[in-house]
Structure 1
Amino acid sequence: MNKIQYNILVAGVLSFMLGVTSCSESFLDVESKTESTTGTSYKNEKDVWRALIGCYDGWRQTSSAVQVGFYAGAEVMGYECFGGTGNADGRGYQAIDRFDISQSPADLNIYENDWKNYYAGVYRCNELISREEQINWNEANSKRGTYMGECRAIRALLYFDMVRLWGNIPLFDEPVNENRPQVDPADVFALIFDDLKYAMENIPADAYPKANASGNDGHITRYAAAALFARAYLYYTGYYGKEPAGVTKAEALAALEGIISSNEYSLVSEFKNLWPAASAGVAEIGDMETLLGSYAGDGNSETILAMKFTSSQDYNGNNDGNRWQVMVGMRSLNAPPYGKGWGGLTVNPAFVSEFKTGDTRRGASIIDLEGEGITALDAFAASYKDQREYTGYAVKKYSPLCFADGTSASKADGSGDFQISNHQDYVMIRYADVLLMAAELGSPNAQAYFDTVRKRAYTADGQLSSSYSSLPATKENIIQERRLEFAFESINYWDLLRQGVDYAANKLAGDISVYSGGSQDVVSIKADRIRATKGLSQIPYNQITLANGMLVQNPGW
């Protein structure tokens, strides 16, 4: 797998020290460290490049630091997963899952680190954007549009996550340190759309060719911005029930058709090859070829945007790894090639049953503990007794990996820490998503796009399953296809919400039998809790206090 390696030291809020050099494995590799501050930097394009790396790092900190994180939060709130974790752990994830703080009354700041890290990332972007006019841009072959386009797209990404999580949030489009009241979400989306339009118009189509993914993977391209533009449009029009100001359905569809006609992307031939754990074989330490098996690789033809990580995270402040993947691993249970973790995000068996015969996405997306012989392992009993909300199913797409002896495979030599060294890419946008969004928005080619995604789902070893049958590309069928295609990719919860809060509440509500600590238990989610909160998350109470009452808590929390 490609890795990105860089270190950013943040000094207070108003300045930061960055270090970058040329790339060897990807554009964020680092070998040396130098210092600069906002008072001495921002003179030329080299300074802009360094500051842009800081913006990318600010974005990555939303997944690298210890916190709930957008990925885990979206999955726990969604239909596919329960909170899980250890049977004796706190019940913060259950409060998120049930939209009910009474599950863990002391958890008044569940998302505090997330809130801080998102706004820190926004600050970095605002700092760079505010300096644009003072930069001595190269007269020939200037990277101005590329660098500023990437920066604005990062800011849009950060705000898009925040406005979906919390709804009414303070809006900062300049680097200031002050209390601000919450604004109408329409104002946040206006900035999101403006930033993404800027990126679409100013990042050259050939800035980061897919053919050079080994060196530029992780950059936000014109096409990534276009896909995000369409995703934001679909969410806004669905959740808020109206058109965003200055943005049309035709623009969103045109953005997607532009990606398709670019011929930069294509579906990976078989679904399982998109995910390391779904492709993996049991391997001895160091045998990465066997371990990764048929994995198509980072930056493959289907990846439009991925957040990059590295295995070099440590306990001394270097936050480079993804900190959510350990949550996905089965509770203290190594079952090679699947590595252990903390047992969060146990999979809802009702969701598992939605996959039809012949759909390869079931086996590629979900670990079936009994079906794969894991329940017969000697170590299973201890894991089972320590697991909360056990269902017999776990997430495979983002399962950590281990070698045959149970050693974490986060580093090829076996020296990785299973808690902090995981570094699998967080694939945010795939080409399959572009095809299905375009179909949903009414492309003349909607049926062909829809069929292409579905046929791949029913293909194994180059053969289309006899179970495959064509379906019309209706909105209902497209939404269901998205549920199966994008399971555990932090997409489906937002797809539910954009069908309406009542729709999401009715879909999420239910009583599901599970086992906690080896004893029967029930996950009970009430529709009135989703309606009361409008599907939004808790604003950290510490932030409300620090804002001197300028922030107002979301209803239901």
Structure 2
Amino acid sequence: MKKIFAAILITGLITSCSKSFLETLPVDAVTEEDFYKTPSDAFQALVSAYSVLNWDGYGNIALSSEIASDDCFGGGGASDNGWSQWDKSLKMNDLNSNAWTKYYAGIYRANKFLQKVGNVNFNGDEATKKRYIAEAHFLRAYFYFDLVRMFGHVPLLTAPLEPGNYSIPQSSPDSVYMLIANDLKQAAADLAPTPYSSIPAAENGRASKWAAEALLGRVFLYYSGYYNKPDIAGIITQADAAAAIEDVINNSGYSLVPKYQNLFRASAESTTAYAGQNNQEGIFTIQYTYLGMGDQSQQNGNRMQVMIGIRSQVLAPYYKGWGAATVNETLYHAFAPGDSRQSASIISIVGEGFGNSYTLADQAQYTGFFCKKYTPLKDKNADDLGGSFQWDNFDNYMVIRFADVLLMGAELNLTSNAGKAQGYLNRVRDRAFGDQTHRITLSNKAQIMEERRLELSLEGQRYWDLLRQGTAVAKQAIDNTSSNAAFNISFRSETGGLFSIPETQINLSNGTLKQNTGW
């Protein structure tokens, strides 16, 4: 008999953040025939799909793509090969297997939910049923978007695979993006327009109408740029994307946190100034917890945090980590004087007074700069709270925040409504500098892309923003020549920026899957 194992997610209060949406759901193994009967069953199955968002480690697209960009090097320890392979775009067997497994697990769970939800008796509560289905469509779109950006031609599954039917050929990116567009349109249409201030704390982390519309805008901009297409299969036009983004800006209730540094716990002026784990800017935020208590199999901690933490040493207020994604000095110097985003985004070892206390040890590709936004902190670290710093860091990750939406709005309106585009850019820069004297006259897309680099630095967007401007632009930015061979980087245009498909998956498919060009 087939079995369903609903994910057990243990959460609680972390700093000021309620993670009650992912409360414990104690479900033993049950037969599929006995499940999908009640609304509670449906909710548990939906949470099981959500739980895949937490799977991190080497499957974290934000980390791997930052390392692949021009803003970070691989870093880590001298013997940590994986990060240097992403950095240098070199072949390493099964480098991306965790990501492939993560996204197809999420897609499977969303597809299984959509296949079985019709069996559930909602007792006439059609609104709840409609909402659950919309959230599943959002999740499937989310998983597929990360997957198709990373790998290009991937198998397109809209229903769970049956036993013995595992050799599914890859589909064209156009087909995958068509599914994503349709899923997001349905999610945006069917999710209630609940403003941020009215969202219950217990529902933090759930997909909303605003998250669907914001992701739709991001998908459109990436697809239309990378593939040089005017729309997504006639389903989403630029006007559609602009309207979705406008709706988020004008009606969602989300807004900019007044001071940039207070967006992130590691850079906040004080614990009381920190805007919180589910603040007014985080339109879609992945929830994490330390309550796995050192159990690696729980997969509910933010693994990216330990990976980017300063390697093997505590330099208060920062806690220890693995030293991945050392920051390129060119990013540090890209910020203009007075831009609060520089010190909020990047740890400068010398600039913050650690020059005499920092120990290099086996840190690879040391630059003197580390990622700050999500670095673990000594205060309330996972070890002290009863978990493990290896598995249980707990800061939430803002996948899409309001400043990103403003910049998408500026880009989408640049040629059709220059005044509106200028206004959106002004709001972002005014917050960054704390005044209105650092505004620039917006005249071209390159200015927006540079603003995105600074505003969203080290948050997992830079690589994709480069690729959607063309491989020539990506290569010019990413290529790096140094007297130290460890920092010599050459972007391989023949790959189109796509990652390598894991060899184990190609082997399991009996050759049905074909490796990406250049790998």
When the two structures are superposed, what TM-score results if normalisation uses the length of structure 1? 0.86
Q: Distance in 2 between matches of 1:119 and 1:179?
A: 14
Q: Confirm or deny: 8 A CA contact 1:69 1:324 kept in the other structure.
A: yes
**How does 1:14-413 map onto structure 2 within 5 Å?**
15-18=4-7, 25=18, 26-30=20-24, 32-61=26-55, 63=56, 66-87=57-78, 89-101=79-91, 107-140=92-125, 142-177=127-162, 178-206=166-194, 209-242=196-229, 243-246=231-234, 247-279=236-268, 292-313=271-292, 314-315=294-295, 317-377=297-357, 380-381=358-359, 384-403=360-379, 409-410=381-382, 413=384
* Helix, strand or coil at the partner of 1:336: coil
Q: Distance in 2 between matches of 1:280 and 1:417?
A: 26
Deviations 1:393-423 (A, max 9, x none): 10000111113xxxx6136x45332211101
2:459 corresponds to 1:483: no
Q: CA deviation at 1:133?
A: 2.6
Match of 2:426 in 1: 451
Deviations 1:521-550 (A, max 9, x none): 5411114x1x01110101110110110000
Q: Confirm or deny: 8 A CA contact 1:18 1:35 kept in the other structure.
A: no
Moved over 4 A (4+): 18-24, 31-35
Deviations 1:363-417 (A, max 9, x none): 000001001011221xx23xx13111000110000111113xxxx6136x45332
**Amino acid paired to 1:544:** I
Deviations 1:463-522 (A, max 9, x none): x276x2433253111111000000011011101000011111111112146xxxxxx554
Match of 1:516 in 2: none
Q: CA deviation at 1:434?
A: 0.8
Q: Distance in 2 between matches of 1:398 and 1:160?
A: 23
Identical columns (%)? 37
**Amino acid paired to 2:511:** G
Q: CA deviation at 1:196?
A: 0.4
Q: CA deviation at 1:248?
A: 0.5
**Amino acid paired to 1:298:** Q
Match of 1:428 in 2: 399
Q: CA deviation at 1:328?
A: 0.6
**Amino acid paired to 1:219:** R
Q: Confirm or deny: 8 A CA contact 2:5 2:28 kept in the other structure.
A: no
**Amino acid paired to 1:205:** P
**Amino acid paired to 1:41:** F
* Helix, strand or coil at the partner of 2:58: coil
Q: Distance in 1 between matches of 2:365 and 2:377?
A: 22
Q: Distance in 2 between matches of 1:14 and 1:35?
A: 6
Structure 1: gaps spanning 5 or more residues: 1-11, 102-106, 282-291, 514-519
When residues 254 and 138 of structure 1 are mapped into structure 2, their CA distance, relative to the original with a 3 A threshold, is farther
- Of residues 293-302 and 160-169 in structure 1, the stretch that sits farther from structure 2 once superposed is 293-302
Q: Confirm or deny: 8 A CA contact 1:125 1:152 kept in the other structure.
A: yes
Q: Confirm or deny: 8 A CA contact 1:18 1:36 kept in the other structure.
A: no
Match of 1:556 in 2: 518
When residues 198 and 13 of structure 1 are mapped into structure 2, their CA distance, relative to the original with a 3 A threshold, is farther
Q: Confirm or deny: 8 A CA contact 2:309 2:375 kept in the other structure.
A: yes
Q: CA deviation at 1:59?
A: 2.8
When residues 509 and 47 of structure 1 are mapped into structure 2, their CA distance, relative to the original with a 3 A threshold, is same
* Helix, strand or coil at the partner of 1:27: helix
Q: Distance in 2 between matches of 1:500 and 1:152?
A: 30
**How does 1:507-522 map onto structure 2 within 5 Å?**
507-512=477-482, 521-522=485-486
**Amino acid paired to 1:267:** L
Q: Distance in 2 between matches of 1:153 and 1:43?
A: 23
Q: Distance in 2 between matches of 1:438 and 1:323?
A: 32
**Amino acid paired to 1:215:** A
When residues 262 and 37 of structure 1 are mapped into structure 2, their CA distance, relative to the original with a 3 A threshold, is farther
When the two structures are superposed, what TM-score results if normalisation uses the length of structure 2? 0.92
Deviations 1:87-108 (A, max 9, x none): 2x1322111111122xxxxx31
Structure 2: gaps spanning 5 or more residues: none
- Of residues 17-26 and 366-375 in structure 1, the stretch that sits farther from structure 2 once superposed is 17-26
Q: CA deviation at 1:15?
A: 2.6
Q: Distance in 2 between matches of 1:230 and 1:402?
A: 37
When residues 213 and 136 of structure 1 are mapped into structure 2, their CA distance, relative to the original with a 3 A threshold, is closer
Q: CA deviation at 1:42?
A: 1.3
Deviations 1:110-160 (A, max 9, x none): 111221121111111000111233222332463122111111100100000
Q: CA RMSD in A?
A: 2.1
Deviations 1:224-281 (A, max 9, x none): 0000001000000000001221220000000011111215111000000001000165
Q: CA deviation at 1:18?
A: 4.8
Q: Confirm or deny: 8 A CA contact 1:511 1:522 kept in the other structure.
A: no
Q: Distance in 2 between matches of 1:525 and 1:200?
A: 41
* Helix, strand or coil at the partner of 1:410: coil
**Amino acid paired to 2:487:** V
When residues 199 and 216 of structure 1 are mapped into structure 2, their CA distance, relative to the original with a 3 A threshold, is same
Match of 2:472 in 1: 502
Q: Confirm or deny: 8 A CA contact 1:309 1:423 kept in the other structure.
A: yes
Q: Distance in 1 between matches of 2:314 and 2:422?
A: 43
